[in-house]
Chains A and B, each alone.
Chain A
Amino acid sequence: MADDDLAKLVARRWRVGGLLTAIMVIAYFGFILLVAFDKETAGTLIAGDRVSIGIVLGAALIVLAPVLIAIYVRWANRSYDPAVQALRDKRPSGKDAP
């Protein structure tokens, strides 16, 4: 049975998921650390002194979340699903199946 193939597929899924998770976590905690330790920078006004850096970064984080998810869904639809289907087709039916 294609255990190695499954292991490879699983590793690839956690790699892609892990990378995207890392991007989100780093972006978010970067923001939180900025807010926690450098309030002055977070409060600095930009765009003709009309809005603070903190507000712009916060809005950017809210936009980033669905964008990362869209990237993931695209990857999964194009690359992950066909690989899963290929393994499913190879999977023996009946008593050997988990």
Chain B
Amino acid sequence: MSESSLGEPNVAAIVSFIGFVLITLAVTYWAARRTRTSAEFFAAGGNVSAAQNGLALAGDYMSAASFLGIAGEVALKGFDGLIYSIGFLVGWPLVTFLIAEPLRNLGTYTFVDVVAFRLRQRPVRIAAAISTLAVVSFYLIAQMVGAGNLVHLMFGLSYELAIVIVGAVMLAYVLFGGMIATTWVQIIKAGLLLLGATLLAILVLAKFGFNPLAMFAEARDQLGADVMAPGARVAKPLEAISLGLALMLGTAGLPHILMRFYTVRDAKTARRSVAYATSLIGWFYLVTFVLGFGAMVLVGRKAIIAVDKGGNMAAPLLAEVLGGTGFLGFISAVAFATILAVVAGLTLSGAAAIAHDLWGHVLRDGKVEERQQLKVARYATIGLAVVAIGLGLLFKGQNVAFMVGLAFAIAASANFPALLMSMTWSRFTTLGAMSSMLTGTAVSVVLILLSPTVWVDLFKFKHAIIELKNPGIFSVPAAFLVGIVVSLVKPEPASVQGFKAAQHRMHLGPT
């Protein structure tokens, strides 16, 4: 291909991005006047429809890692990249069958409401706030650093300026518009991302007579049949299983995703919204098959690596090859909007953990004054925005790709086991919940620190202490085991007694 214009100021990109920001800020202004209570700030007053929430869930979930990361991974690694496309989707049925409805019936703002329902509030809330904030922070770092790099590559803006723009615009959404604005930002972003990715895939398939088989055959001719077979990423069987486990169960433990189920009226709507979300996200991941292999054969690996070693620019480069500078600009703006929206969702769930779980239940013992809680939530939002910008600047130039994996591993091992046991097991106890969540968090963090991703790639030691890159296979069973053993060793009669009331409400809904 000819030289790419990526990184030069691009009129289409700037116009599309400014358009997105103006529209979403207008929505925020509208939402701000409807955000007067905590219920509106955290849960949009429970007034979001199933289709809207489905789109918003998809918007919260499809990060830049999904769009740019997977397209690049597939373009450079072939089949191995698709393992992520598949793994990111298969957790959603579990969310539907096990989590969504009981969660909606039993809680108000955060998933911790469910875990703590019949247990002693304080210890459980503290442990859960730690794991929530850990997931949110690692996820935020990955998004912020990604945002800085992307914007630098695409628009030619400086890294620091990009970080500050993302932090400031996101702050405006969450601070003034709360969940109502954040939901609409997700809906707009999800629509744009699905539209952009689908258009791009149609342009790719048009080159192959709308026959995906012809595209795969072209990849075989160019690079050999091995691009369609499992390769180096999953060379070790244990690695593949461990990664698969974290991806599947992590989805069911992400605080910003779980929080979305409180924005709908009832359990039935929660169920329908997750059905919409899974169809949309599934469509999107099927499209990534086409984008990845399309970039591989139409842009070429050499050209992709020349712009970014990690392959993150595969999708934008593909847009340029097929649709010219204008389409490149549009896709770049969509990628930027994607990050912005995900960061807003994460910040809101972090603010809920601080204002609702820590301040409301730990410091104020559940007796909170409405206006004060809202104030605390807004201070927390400002604090988190400053932290996000700070982390983005601090980790400049670092390879942070592992941090999304870490966030998923913590979500899978700290949040999912405790959530599942609290909903299904009568003898689950306060200490069991606490120790399970803390074990899940600690084991995932420690194993990743000692793994090749951090110990060798980041700290530059010669050999990793643990060869495994994904901790899930150890950290998830450890969290379950500790939770069960601790609960059995020291029973809690009050929890067993409360189980019946919890079951009533979990399945029949609040009175």
**Chain A positions near chain B (C-beta within 8 angstroms):** 3, 6, 9-10, 13-14, 16-18, 20-21, 24-25, 28-29, 31-33, 35-37, 39-40, 42-43, 45, 47-52, 54-55, 58-59, 61-63, 65-66, 68-70, 72-73, 76-77, 81, 84, 87-88, 91, 93, 97-98
Contact = CB atoms under 8 A, between A and B. Distances in A.
Contact of B507 (A13, A36, A50): A13
Interface in B89-122: 89-90, 92-94, 96-98
Interface in B46-73: none
B508 A91 contact: yes
Given A3-B500, A6-B507, A55-B82, A63 B282 contact: yes
Contacts of B97: 16-18, 20-21, 72
Tell which of B89, B212, B214, B226 has the most Cβ of chain A within 10 Å.
B89
A87 B87 CA distance: 38
A88 B216 contact: no
A60 B505 CA distance: 37
B85 interface: yes
Contacts of A51: 212-213, 216-217, 228
Top 9 nearest A-B pairs (CB, nearest first) are: A43-B229, A52-B228, A36-B237, A98-B501, A17-B97, A36-B240, A50-B217, A32-B244, A50-B213
B285 interface: yes
Contact of A35 (B214, B240, B286): B240
7 contacts: A49-B225, A52-B216, A55-B228, A61-B86, A61-B90, A91-B511, A98-B502
A97 to B, nearest CB: 5
B310 interface: no
A62 B89 contact: yes
B498 to A, nearest CB: 9
B89 A65 contact: yes
B230 A43 contact: yes
A79 to B, nearest CB: 13
B335 to A, nearest CB: 22
Nearest to A52: B228
A47 B230 CA distance: 19
A43 B241 contact: no
Contacts of B94: 21, 24-25
Nearest to B97: A17
A3 B275 CA distance: 30
Nearest to A87: B508
B504 A62 contact: no
B509 interface: yes
A65 B505 contact: no
A55 B501 contact: no
Contacts of A17: 97-98
A89 B423 CA distance: 23
Nearest to A55: B228
Nearest to B227: A52
B375 interface: no
A28 B248 CA distance: 9
Given A43-B230, A52-B228, A9 B507 contact: yes
Interface of B: 79, 82-83, 85-87, 89-90, 92-94, 96-98, 212-214, 216-217, 220, 225-226, 228-230, 234, 236-241, 244, 248, 268, 271-272, 274-275, 278-279, 282, 285-286, 289, 424, 500-505, 507-509, 511
Nearest to B98: A17
Contacts of A73: 96, 271-272, 275
A50 B268 CA distance: 43
A62 B285 contact: yes
B153 to A, nearest CB: 29
Contacts of B274: 69
A92 to B, nearest CB: 10
A28 to B, nearest CB: 5
B92 A65 contact: yes
Nearest to A40: B229
Given A21-B93, A50-B214, A93-B511, A39 B241 contact: no
Contact of B228 (A32, A36, A54, A59): A54
Contacts of A33: 237, 241
Nearest to B212: A51
Contacts of A77: 268
B286 A32 contact: no
A90 to B, nearest CB: 10
Tell which of B229, B278, B424, B502 has the most Cβ of chain A within 10 Å.
B229
Contacts of A32: 83, 240-241, 244
Contact of A88 (B92, B500, B508): B508
A21 B311 CA distance: 34
A35 B285 contact: no
Nearest to A9: B507
Contact of B503 (A10, A40, A63): A10
A24 B82 CA distance: 18
Contacts of A3: 500
Contacts of A76: 268, 271
Contacts of B236: 36
B98 A21 contact: yes
A88 B272 CA distance: 21
Given A36-B240, A61-B89, 8 more contacts: A16-B97, A32-B83, A50-B216, A51-B212, A55-B82, A65-B89, A69-B93, A72-B93
